[in-house]
Structure 1
Amino acid sequence: MNPAALSAGETVDAHCSFTVATTDDAYDHARCLQHWKQRYEQLSAGRFSGGVEEAWFGNVQVFRERTNQIVHEAGQAWEGSTTFGIPVEAEGEGWYCGEVFNRDSILTLQGGEQLDFRTPRQLDILGVTADTAAFVDYARRVENRDIQAEIGKQRIVHGAPEKAAELRAFLLTMLNTVRTTPQMLEHAAMRKALEQAIYGSLLAAIGNETDIARPASTSQTRRQIVERAREYMRTHIDEPITVADLCAELNVSRRTLQYSFQDVLNLNPVSFLRAMRLNGVRRALRHADGEHDSVADVAARWGFWHLSHFAADYKAMFGELPSETLRNSHTRRLSAF
């Protein structure tokens, strides 16, 4: 589903957008989320103040919503979607579909279902609305999980507090990065990396991986999986491959892929792919035009969205910052004339 940016927001391109809105009326606040049909009614006395940040890319809509009054929210998300709500802060008691929730609860809503939400007086909440088919397919291919069956008819998922905290921190960091550098969403590799990172973070928060047994496979099978993975990487050396790409290509789950890499190379596939992508960035920086290409732009093309982590990983791998590689490349180019 392609976003249609709000006029008050900042559009990046036809495939993505990032918008920010501040409101002083609950009725107006309800209209901030794209493609939702909502009605908000203020229940507590006092001046209303709210804010919404919203990012669209790929098959996901990520938003942060703040309100300072008790509000009853009714309505529906867009058809064919699944929504997860993750509270950041809540002052007072709130009710969601007849149940009390807390900061570590994960609220769920299927497209077409009726939203019935009585907020606490002060609420700061993160939301992810994803295309259901894309999310379910990712869970099946990459995690070998039937996520729809796991959630069932639950409207509130009570996961482990530490998992909810990790999901909350990830989404806050991601939104902050997009707010700071919205142009990074222009790159298809970045949108793909973020979408898959969100899916993975949601699945980790919802499920309990310690309950899932290690898959049985022979050492020969594991070697074959790793060799097929490495061959795929070699033939796609200039592409920012993800774990999900490998799982789809090899028709194995992420867990099987991880155990195979760990047993054969004593390295997990995430680390291996990160090394491949870092090398891709280095090649691009060494051939970049220092006047027109930035480190952030090159990193985004290879799916690195957390720039400080990227810079630290790059320096640990190559002994210099990516900005130094770019500067040295520009210097070499000038000296060649």
Structure 2
Amino acid sequence: MRETISVSTEQAFSAPEGSVIFYYYPKLDESELACGEKALGVSGFALNWTNRIGFMDAGSDLLMLVLRRDAICDEDYKSKAHLVEAPLEPAAFLADWLLSLLKAASQQTYPYARENVDDVLADVITDRFEFLFQKSVVCETPQIAEAEKIYKKMRDRIFDGPDRPHTVRSLSRDLGVSAFDLRASCQSFSQIPLERMLTLLRLNGARRDLLRARCAPRKVSDIAMDWGFFHWSRFAFRYRSLFGETPSETLRG
């Protein structure tokens, strides 16, 4: 898959069990695929990437390939969670090759059975990336992985449903984590202060419910209050600043 992203966004990554992800991320700055996991270069392999969260910068251009883990690495890697940095020059060459395959897949017709072509391509792709993996360097799992766990628990708790407006203190009690650790984990993982992150998550929750309300009508004001926004004009301003439209425009579709 290849994905280009025009705005900064949070994304969920969940590779199938027993897989390895090759990634090529040609953005020469401090961007990260999964927060706290900075590859030394812009390409590499990620293991055990199930239910991960990453923050993608504006202008991101990401290429990812899913490979069977047992096809490219031995048993020593199967229980470890880390990144493997791929040498940039051959990785860039293979990335360009993959992009050409993606383009050809939507244009080319074959005079023989397509499944035969797919089988051959699968073997060739696996062989080339197994060789690249063998030339790559292991990066240890970063300590920030613990901060990611706390952030995910907080995020999931908020999106479970707005049974009440969430505050730093209520989340701290619900998760059994001190307010200090909650703030520190959010800041180190997302680079966004906790209070700002809570506002962003609540706005996203409100947008989700507004989209659902197109089929099951509800008032914008009720949805806003569900998510802890009690000042209508302030909510509308924040909402429009983030999504480029008013809550009422979202509801109308």
TM tier, smaller: 0.3 to 0.5
TM-score relative to the length of structure 2? 0.45
Greater per-residue strand proportion: 1
TM-score relative to the length of structure 1? 0.35
